[in-house]
Amino acid sequence: MTLLDGKKTSEAIQNEIAAEVAELKANGYKTPHLAAVLVGNDGGSVTYVNNKVLACEKVGFSSSLIRYEDTVTEAELLQKIKELNEDEEIDGFIVQLPLPKHIDSEKVIESIDPRKDVDGFHPTNVGRMVAGLPAYLPATPAGILQLLERYQIETKGKHCVVIGRSNIVGSPMSILMAKAAYPGNATVTLCHRNTVDLANYTRQADIIIAAVGQPGLVTADMVKDGAVVIDVGTTRVPDATRKAGYRLRGDVDFDSVAEKCSFITPVPGGVGPLTIAMLLKNTLKAAKQEVYA
Active site residues: 52, 96, 119
Residue 159 confidence class, pLDDT cut points 50, 70, 90: very high
For residue 268, count other CB atoms closer than 10 A to its CB.
15
Per-residue model confidence as pLDDT tens digits over 84-142: 999 999 999 999 999 999 999 999 999 999 999 999 999 999 999 999 999 999 999 99
Residue range(s) in the chain whose domain bears CATH number 3.40.50.10860: 27-113
User: Residue 42's pLDDT is what?
Assistant: 84
Q: Where in the chain is the domain with CATH 3.40.50.720?
A: 139-272
**pLDDT-derived band at 293, boundaries 50, 70, 90:** confident
139-272: CATH topology is: Rossmann fold (3.40.50)
CA distance 225 to 59: 39
- Distance (Å, rounded) from C-alpha 207 to C-alpha 223? 9
Phi, psi of 57 (to 5 degrees): -60, -40
For the cut 90, the answer to whether the pLDDT of residue 244 exceeds it is no
CB contact at 8 A, 286 and 116: yes
Sequence-ordered alpha helix ranges (H) in the chain: 6-26, 43-59, 74-86, 105-111, 123-131, 139-150, 170-178, 198-202, 254-257, 272-288
Per-residue pLDDT tens for 201-213?
999 999 999 999 9
Q: How confident is the model at residue 30 (pLDDT cuts 50, 70, 90)?
A: very high
The two counts, helices (H) then strands (E), for the chain are: 10, 11
Amino acid residing at 90: I
In CATH terms, is domain 27-113 a member of 2.20.25.240? no
3-state helix, strand, coil in the chain (%, to 5): 40, 15, 40
